[in-house]
Amino acid sequence: MIYTAIFKRLFDLFFALLFLLLLSPLLILISVAIKIASGNAPIFYGHQRLGKNGVIFTCWKFRTMIPKAQEKLQDILQNDPTLAQEFNQTQKLKRDPRIIPGIGHFLRRSSMDELPQFFNVLKGQMSIIGPRPITPSELNHYGEHQALFLSVLPGITGLWQTSGRNNLSYQSRVNLDIYYIRHRSLWLDLNIVLKTLITIIKGSGY
């Protein structure tokens, strides 16, 4: 498809450069706020995700959790069966006790923790719009659609983020990712960008 091969990359570069330019003062303020809230801990958090063609890359976010959050997660899941069940179903916790009070909750709620991913877009590792970046262990959820999922770049935002992400089952997220890959177009991408901005303004992230 001409759009996905050429114009989508131009679309990505245009919006990534535009948002980084416009939001650069905000990026600095967020970095300072994280530093004040968490001392010597890193400002950014890099996690390994599956990219196009199965290539592993480091997906960047503003750090919103306490240091050693992964070790803390294991303790939480072992000691709370209800939270363990929630995490097994959705791979996330709605009321995650590891989130930094104040700035961490704000960044999650506004989805601003994902702003550093614009640098992933510039490097060609991600797209502005696409399926969710997932861990290698999550690929099995895509069943017979694994090859289709890996045929495109993962996105900063997409259909699942603008379709009630907090209330969707994991399978619903998978279905939305597959739908997007099969029906992607310039107009669908523009529609998702608009809905994403509305979601950020409403503060319905997480």
Mean pLDDT within 131-140: 93
Per-residue pLDDT at 45: 93
Residue 92 lies in a domain: no
Residue 73 lies in a domain: no
Residue 171 lies in a domain: yes
Q: Residue 137 in contact with residue 155, Cβ under 8 Å?
A: no
Helices 103-110 + 8-38 axis angle, to 10 = 160
What are 47-105's pLDDT values in tens digits?
999 999 999 999 999 999 887 777 777 778 877 777 777 777 776 777 777 888 899 98
What are 137-177's pLDDT values in tens digits?
999 999 999 999 999 999 999 998 888 766 778 889 999 99
Has residue 12 got a pLDDT over 90? yes
What are 98-127's pLDDT values in tens digits?
888 899 989 988 889 999 999 999 999 999
Q: Is 126 helix (H, G, I), strand (E, B) or coil?
A: coil
Residue 54 lies in a domain: yes
What's this model's pTM, rounded to 2 decimal places?
0.85
Has residue 203 got a pLDDT over 70? no
Residue 158 lies in a domain: yes
Residue 74 lies in a domain: no
The domain total for the chain is: 1
Has residue 206 got a pLDDT over 60? no
The residue range of the domain holding 159 is: 2-64+99-202
Residue 127 lies in a domain: yes
Residue 87 lies in a domain: no
Amino acid at 89: Q
